[in-house]
Structure 1
Amino acid sequence: MPKAAAEKVIVAGVGMIPFTKPGASPSYDEMGAAAARAALDDAGVDYAHVEQAYAGYVYGDSTCGQKALYRVGMTGIPVVNVNNNCSTGSSALFLARQAIESGMLDCVLAVGFEQMAPGALGSVYEDRPSAFESFDETCEDIMGKSEVPLALKYFGGAGKSHMDKYGTTLEDFAKIRAKASRHAANNELAVFRNVVTPEEVLEAKAFWPGVMTRLMACPPTCGGAAAVLVSESFAKKHGLNTDVVIAAQAMRTDFPSTFDAKDMMQLVGYDMTAAATKSVYEDAGIGAEDVDVVELHDCFAHNELITYEGLGLCGEGEAQKFIADGDNTFGGKVVTNPSGGLLSKGHPLGATGLAQCYELTHQLRGTAGARQVEGARNALQHNLGLGGACVVTLYQAA
């Protein structure tokens, strides 16, 4: 049977609360509820109109989504809890978008929140097989045994792979981190707004000598963000803002190459990124050269650098020149992470993908204030979770 025409998906409203350090935030349910209310207020939609909700978080027991949304209302709607590691927020958005695009629903809420603890990420359940067993085995095959914390080992290893292949230097990663801080200085919701220089980044404590310093890693963060997606007919019926649409979106999980390539770049999702991006560009009928602004998954400066190439913003091995030419910031080819990204804005795992949606929606509306990318029409979002899942979304100004 021929595929039915897809419904246009409108981003009617977005909400986000200030990101904070662990221990300084309200509880997860308060953060989730506040973000959801902000998105509903921004959309001009009453919770009674929401037909379904997707709630994303990583660290929490089952049905935390209900706990958060019951603070907003108890209307009996389906609430689906989502956990896809660091791509959880965009996975919730992916499900919400599908519900609208399929024609099944007209108004859906996606919300993400995280109440994190200080320190490096770690496993909670030690009495059962880890989802990272195959990843850990492959990492050890490539890198050898190490006491380096899990996430740092993966992404630092990916950065080292790029250094070995293309001559990338520690200074390149430092420039990315400094750029993030300059952007975040204009974001009142970011956890870190202090500007740092590349020299200060290089002088910070070495997490992995020659590969990574402390400032090249994103901080554990608490926060919440949300989005209200609606059909075009619903938006018109209720007089809602239709300025921003989701033009294309793709999710990919791991391929055999994740393990078979014996390359840390592949192990942290480079092929997932490239495949999802290719699908999005083809579905939208555009190319990387048409993208004006990007929010990408810079959990480490190293991942931002390799993602430039995975998204096609520059060719393979060309990231160093891309950075040196200033093509990743204001005045260059494509502004990356005007929000400050995960490195400075913060990374509350369940909220990150929806915080990216928040930023890009405001960029396309022209309401991003001092960090506005002038004339932005095409905005690309990249959100990555190890284990793994990668979601790439293209938003367009209507």
Structure 2
Amino acid sequence: MTSSVIVAGAGMIPFTKPGASEPYPQMVAKAVRAALADAGVEYASVQQAYAGYVYGDSTAGQRGLYEVGMTGIPVVNVNNNCSTGSTALYLARQAVASGMADCVLAFGFEQMMPGALGSVFNDRPSPFERFDALAAELTDVELPLALRYFGGAGLAHMQEFGTKVETFAKIRAKASRHAANNPLALFRNVVTEAEVMAAPMLWPGVMTRLMACPPTCGAAAAILVSEAFAKKHGLDATVRIRAQAMTTDTPDSFATRDMRDVVGFGMTRSAARQVYEAAGVGPEDIGVVELHDCFAHNELISYEALGLCPIGGAEKFVVDGDNTYGGKVVTNPSGGLLSKGHPLGATGLAQCTELVGQLRGRAGARQVDGARLALQHNLGLGGACVVTLYERV
């Protein structure tokens, strides 16, 4: 696959709390139309579509897309847990890079219920059986699975490197400062480190409620095109996908008996290394990152997995302010999952939308000066990790 892939357009709708959103077909239609308008193409030009969602019936992607048009194109529904949106993006990029199509739509959405994530199909084996069993051995708390997994990963970092729980609070406070400048974010109120620490304690000494992202509804979309298509139609070819990798679990996810690997540290490190190698760049070349901060704890361990700082250096990275404006690399200028929200199927494409805006210089008060390379990290337990490198050309 040697064809360059252009992100001609991207768009999303404001994220909302469960119960406050429109039904998913309306959310999808608005996000897709926003991406089409941003690209300057008509829906009739789209040759394939990849729809990402986690909680929904089969062919819900078609149901949403039919609000935009019914042109008979292939529509593929994708479910890869929290990395669903970027998995749709990954498939769309492959379709263009391989020459199978010149104009492809990737979109993601979620109409979520309030409360912690849970299983829907309880009459069959869970995809998380092995994860649950190991988490039960390595942790001794009774919490919803996501809190147990990611809190346990943060605790492992604390135990090995002496990381303070206040460091996770600093990450959450940083997210709120970034989101204050994002009109599409769910939470735009700024919270201080002290306020994060004063929130109800979910896991004593490890996690407060504000360190976890909220269940969210929303939709986002992107239009990917070939260079030839962009040139023929006079489209904005400023942003291209320089490299992309998708990984899944290896035996080490369980064999190391480390909660960090259980939640995808190894998948992330492998995907990032593949991307850097393919692009011929290093983490020091990246100016802006949207990473998967479903919990402040995962943001911290992801700094190390992505190579943004040395192993064991994440706390210093945070304390020194190297994760925000004026530091080494601006992480989650959108506010991330912690403040922008996390509608599972839409998250990867919302990250794409933010980074395309950054590389085009259209991020307003969130703009990262001089950004030329932007990195996206989207993680789904069970598992799948997608890392994407965007370049301004």
- What corresponds to 2:118 in structure 1? 122
**Equivalent in 217, 229, 232 of residue 212 of structure 2:** 217
Q: Tell me if structure 2 keeps the 8 A contact 1:109–1:229.
A: yes
Pairing 1:65–2:64 present: no
Letter in 1 for 2:378: N
**Equivalent in 68, 78, 84 of residue 88 of structure 1:** 84
- What corresponds to 2:137 in structure 1? 141
Deviation at 1:29, TM superposition (A): 1.2
- What corresponds to 1:393 in structure 2? 388
Instruction: Please state whether the residue corresponding to 1:97 is helix, strand or coil.
Output: helix
In the TM superposition, what are the counterparts of 1:255-270 in structure 2 within 5 Å? 255-270=250-265
1:181-220, Cα deviation, whole Å (9 max, x unpaired): 0000000000000000000000000000100000000000
Q: Tell me if structure 2 keeps the 8 A contact 1:56–1:82.
A: yes
Instruction: Please state whether the residue corresponding to 2:126 is helix, strand or coil.
Output: coil
Letter in 1 for 2:327: G
Deviation at 1:282, TM superposition (A): 0.3
Q: Tell me if structure 2 keeps the 8 A contact 1:6–1:103.
A: no
- What corresponds to 1:299 in structure 2? 294
1:90-124, Cα deviation, whole Å (9 max, x unpaired): 00000000000111110000000000011000000
- What corresponds to 2:304 in structure 1? 309
Letter in 2 for 1:224: A
Deviation at 1:138, TM superposition (A): 1.1
Instruction: Output the CA distance in 1 between the equivalents of 2:353 and 2:75.
Output: 21
Deviation at 1:32, TM superposition (A): 1.0
Instruction: Please state whether the residue corresponding to 2:388 is helix, strand or coil.
Output: strand
1:214-253, Cα deviation, whole Å (9 max, x unpaired): 0000000000000000000000000000000000000000
**Equivalent in 224, 228, 234 of residue 239 of structure 1:** 234
Letter in 2 for 1:151: A
Q: Tell me if structure 2 keeps the 8 A contact 1:14–1:227.
A: yes
1:295-320, Cα deviation, whole Å (9 max, x unpaired): 00000000000000000000000001
- What corresponds to 1:106 in structure 2? 102
- Percent of pairs with identical residues: 73
Q: Tell me if structure 2 keeps the 8 A contact 1:154–1:268.
A: yes
- What corresponds to 1:252 in structure 2? 247
> Tell me, which stretches of 5 or more residues in structure 1 are unaligned?
none
- What corresponds to 1:275 in structure 2? 270
- What corresponds to 1:324 in structure 2? 319
Instruction: Output the CA distance in 2 between the equivalents of 1:122 and 1:350.
Output: 15
- What corresponds to 2:187 in structure 1? 192
- What corresponds to 1:375 in structure 2? 370
> Tell me, which stretches of 5 or more residues in structure 2 are unaligned?
none
**Equivalent in 32, 36, 40 of residue 32 of structure 2:** 36
Letter in 1 for 2:318: I
Instruction: Please state whether the residue corresponding to 1:273 is helix, strand or coil.
Output: helix
- What corresponds to 1:170 in structure 2? 165
**Equivalent in 46, 52, 67 of residue 50 of structure 1:** 46
Letter in 2 for 1:77: I
Instruction: Please state whether the residue corresponding to 1:387 is helix, strand or coil.
Output: coil
- What corresponds to 1:227 in structure 2? 222
Letter in 2 for 1:380: L
Instruction: Please state whether the residue corresponding to 1:148 is helix, strand or coil.
Output: coil
- What corresponds to 2:17 in structure 1? 21
Instruction: Output the CA distance in 2 between the equivalents of 1:328 and 1:248.
Output: 23
Letter in 2 for 1:137: A
Deviation at 1:142, TM superposition (A): 1.3
Letter in 1 for 2:284: E
Q: Tell me if structure 2 keeps the 8 A contact 1:191–1:346.
A: yes
Please report the TM-score for the alignment, with normalisation by the length of structure 1: 0.98
Letter in 2 for 1:70: Y
1:283-341, Cα deviation, whole Å (9 max, x unpaired): 00000000000000000000000000000000000001101110000000000000000
Letter in 1 for 2:277: E
Say how many residue pairs are matched. Answer: 393
Letter in 2 for 1:17: I
Over the aligned positions, Cα root-mean-square deviation in angstroms equals 0.5
Instruction: Output the CA distance in 2 between the equivalents of 1:308 and 1:237.
Output: 40
Letter in 1 for 2:190: V
Pairing 1:77–2:65 present: no
Letter in 1 for 2:115: G
Instruction: Output the CA distance in 2 between the equivalents of 1:108 and 1:66.
Output: 15
Instruction: Please state whether the residue corresponding to 1:391 is helix, strand or coil.
Output: strand
